[in-house]
């Protein structure tokens, strides 16, 4: 685990720099092999918040404030509501359904079928709230948020920056809850926290440099490819008990 954790964290940081998701999706199940699932979720929220804050600082000038006030606010609110119900409503079946949604969006995007899909006005609010709630319910907010954002018609930099700002708002709201409920367990995981934090920050630095080299026309193909990858990961990932 001492070798695996920083490697996964580095990869997660790179992926998150492109798509706005990946840190929780990759690190949480990896850490959950060694610690209880709830503690793993709380522990991963620390490097997640650090990497998200750093990425936001690097790209803050590209945030689409209009979308942040509509889609972003509703996505964050929906994500927190879904996360609150996660322990009572989450199930493997629901995770597989959401994996199917991610695969459909990713394949549709690569195939050009979703190019005409645009969430505007009230639909942006609805898309934000729905994707956030479902993502929070199953514990993969970033993936569904990114999938919904492909229908907002934004530029590459606005996509990453607005998704990052939304994720940062969620982190700010959930971190106190995790710290209060899992403080004792988190203190015992400080070596893992340090490794994960260093890995995701290094990955973010690499990812942001790579992002600048990806042409606008190719960016959403990469995002759709990552959505497909996340969907397949959710389908085939090892499922562990809650310890």
Q: What is the pLDDT of residues 72-82, one digit of tens each?
A: 899 888 888 87
Q: What is the DSSP letter of 61?
A: G
| Chain segment 167-196, per-residue pLDDT in tens | 888 888 778 877 777 888 899 999 999 999
pLDDT at 242: 46
Write down the domain spans for the chain.
Answer: 4-236
Q: What is the pLDDT of residues 110-140, one digit of tens each?
A: 887 665 666 667 778 888 888 888 877 776 7
Q: How far apart are CA 11 and CA 113, in angstroms?
A: 29
Is the sign of the CA dihedral 228, 219, 197, 76 positive or negative?
negative
- With a cut of 70, which residues of the chain have pLDDT below it? 86-91, 113-120, 139, 238-243
pLDDT value for 241: 52
- The Cα angle at residue 150 between residues 148 and 156, in degrees rounded to 5: 135
Phi, psi angles (nearest 5°) of residue 104: -65, -45
Element (H, E) at 95: helix 92-111
- Give how far Cα 163 sits from Cα of 122, 206, 207, Å: 19, 18, 15
Q: What is the pLDDT of residue 93?
A: 79
For residue 237, what are its two tokens? 């990932």
In whole angstroms, give the CA distance from residue 41 to residue 31: 9
Q: Compute the distance between CA of residue 71 and CA of residue 148 in angstroms, rounded to an integer.
A: 9
């Amino acid at each position: 685990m001492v070798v695996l954790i920083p490697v996964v964290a580095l990869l997660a940081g790179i992926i998150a720099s492109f798509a706005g998701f990946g840190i929780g999706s990759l690190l949480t199940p990896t850490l959950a092999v060694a610690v209880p699932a709830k503690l793993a979720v709380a522990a991963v929220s620390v490097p997640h918040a650090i990497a998200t804050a750093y990425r936001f600082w690097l790209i803050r000038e590209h945030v689409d404030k209009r979308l942040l006030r509509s889609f972003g606010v509703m996505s964050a609110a929906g994500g927190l509501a879904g996360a609150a119900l996660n322990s009572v409503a989450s199930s493997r079946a629901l995770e597989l359904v959401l994996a199917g949604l991610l695969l459909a969006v990713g394949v549709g995007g690569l195939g050009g079928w979703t190019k005409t899909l645009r969430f505007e006005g009230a639909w942006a609010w609805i898309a934000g709230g729905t994707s956030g709630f479902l993502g929070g319910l199953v514990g993969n907010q970033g993936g569904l948020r990114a999938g919904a954002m492909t229908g907002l018609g934004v530029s590459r930099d606005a996509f990453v920056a607005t998704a990052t700002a939304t994720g940062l708002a969620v982190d700010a709201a959930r971190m106190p809850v995790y710290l209060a409920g899992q403080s004792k367990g988190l203190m015992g995981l400080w070596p893992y926290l340090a490794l994960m934090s260093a890995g995701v920050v290094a990955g973010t630095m690499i990812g942001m440099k790579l992002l600048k080299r990806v042409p606008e026309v190719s960016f959403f193909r990469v995002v759709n490819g990552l959505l497909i990858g996340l969907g397949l990961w959710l389908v085939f990932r090892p499922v562990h008990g809650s310890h």
